């Protein structure tokens, strides 16, 4: 009797171990915050020895550097990563299509689409197409990702070269994705038993009875993600330039200069001209400088306020 109970406990323990699926969301523009967030989700899943990570994707695209950072993280993951375009009406456009195809299992919900991945550059006058060598580089990157996961290479390449976009039914039929599922529960049932190839070797997914662990963005990540929107970033950049110009033309105004520097640093970080580590370090040093300056200059507290905001 005791032996039977012990065996049952061991079986129960084996079934429960590694039975968690971590779920993260890639919503809105692909930016440094999203890249850092995805890395955090995958890292948590690896530390918990999770069965898989599901990245729920709904994005119009974003920055190339952030996209490539996410893809490197996905490809190096010790846990299988499932890309899932969801809910109905969602899309994995531009950078989102690269990320979806880089995941070991690519899935879409009914009523979704992917593609339209021709590179563009942002300017003050809007988006413009880029020169041929950048397009060819992006096309080669897409081919490499598609080949790595055994997907339709020529169709994937057309997302870049021809800005082609397709529905979930077309993607499944033409071998671009693996699964069409209406929700995460259905997705986990459909991918159960599939074998995926990781850098460390082949892994068979056991997801049908897995517990779902959702990992949302933190409050600070949500805030930084919001201000990383290109439209807001350009407004911050312009505000920063004008603030500094006003300070130089009217020395002693203080407030425009302080606000200008802060806005400019945030904008440069949003454009990925400087990393978040450097931006944070500069803001901290700038805040300390303002506090020290407050001792020498009577600014009626404006410098101290600027220092607090910087820190």
Helices 95-102 & 64-76 angle (0-180, nearest 10): 10
* Local structure of 127: helix, strand or coil: strand
User: Which tokens belong to 289?
Assistant: 């400088």
Choice among 66, 69, 77, 94 that is catalytic: 94
Distance (Å) of CA 310 to CA 148, 255, 305: 44, 13, 9
DSSP 137-186: HHHHHHHHHHHHTT--HHHHHHHHHS--EEEHHHHHHTTS-SEE-SSHHH
Choice among 13, 133, 220, 296 that is catalytic: 133
CB 30 within 8 A of CB 62: yes
Residue 218 CB neighbours (<10 A): 12
List Cβ neighbours of 259 (8 Å cut-off, separation of 6 or more).
Answer: 239, 240, 243, 306
Q: Is 133 a catalytic residue?
A: yes
What is the rounded distance in angstroms from the CA atom of residue 31 to the CA atom of residue 36?
A: 9
Report which of 71, 99, 104 is spatially closest to residue 85, judged by C-alpha positions.
99
Residue 9 buriedness (CB in 10 A; 0-12 / 13-18 / 19+): exposed
Query: Tokens 């910087």 — which residue?
Result: 310
Longest dimension (CA), the chain: 89
Q: What distance, in Å, lies between the first and last C-alpha atoms of the chain?
A: 64
Eight-state DSSP code of residue 217: P
User: Which tokens belong to 184?
Assistant: 């995460």
* Local structure of 70: helix, strand or coil: helix
Q: Is 154 a catalytic residue?
A: no
Active site residues: 94, 133
């Amino acid at each position: 009797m005791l032996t039977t109970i012990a065996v049952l406990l061991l079986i129960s323990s084996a079934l429960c171990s590694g039975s968690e699926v971590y779920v993260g969301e890639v919503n809105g523009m692909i930016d440094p915050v999203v890249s850092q967030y995805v890395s955090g989700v995958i890292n948590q899943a690896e530390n918990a020895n999770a069965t898989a990570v599901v990245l729920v994707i709904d994005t119009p695209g974003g920055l190339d550097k952030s996209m490539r950072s996410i893809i490197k993280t996905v490809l190096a993951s010790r846990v299988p990563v499932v890309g899932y375009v969801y809910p109905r009406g969602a899309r994995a456009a531009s950078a989102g299509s690269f990320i979806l195809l880089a995941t070991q299992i690519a899935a879409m919900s009914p009523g979704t689409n992917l593609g339209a991945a021709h590179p563009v550059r942002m300017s003050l006058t809007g988006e413009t197409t880029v020169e041929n060598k950048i397009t060819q580089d992006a096309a080669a990157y897409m081919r490499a990702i598609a080949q790595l996961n055994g997907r339709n290479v020529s169709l994937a390449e057309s997302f870049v070269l021809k800005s082609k976009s397709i529905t979930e039914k077309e993607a499944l039929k033409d071998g671009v994705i693996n699964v069409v599922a209406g929700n995460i529960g259905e997705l986990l049932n459909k991918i159960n038993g599939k074998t995926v190839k990781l850098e460390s070797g082949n892994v068979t997914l056991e997801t049908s009875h897995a517990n779902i662990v959702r990992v949302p963005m933190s409050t600070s990540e949500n805030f930084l993600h919001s201000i990383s929107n290109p439209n807001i970033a350009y407004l911050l950049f312009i505000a920063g330039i004008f603030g500094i110009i006003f300070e130089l033309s009217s020395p002693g105004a203080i407030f425009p200069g302080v606000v200008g520097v802060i806005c400019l640093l945030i904008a440069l970080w949003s454009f990925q001209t400087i990393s978040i580590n450097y931006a944070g370090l500069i803001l901290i040093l700038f805040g300390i400088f303002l506090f020290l300056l407050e001792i020498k200059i009577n600014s009626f507290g404006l410098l101290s306020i600027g220092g607090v905001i910087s820190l």
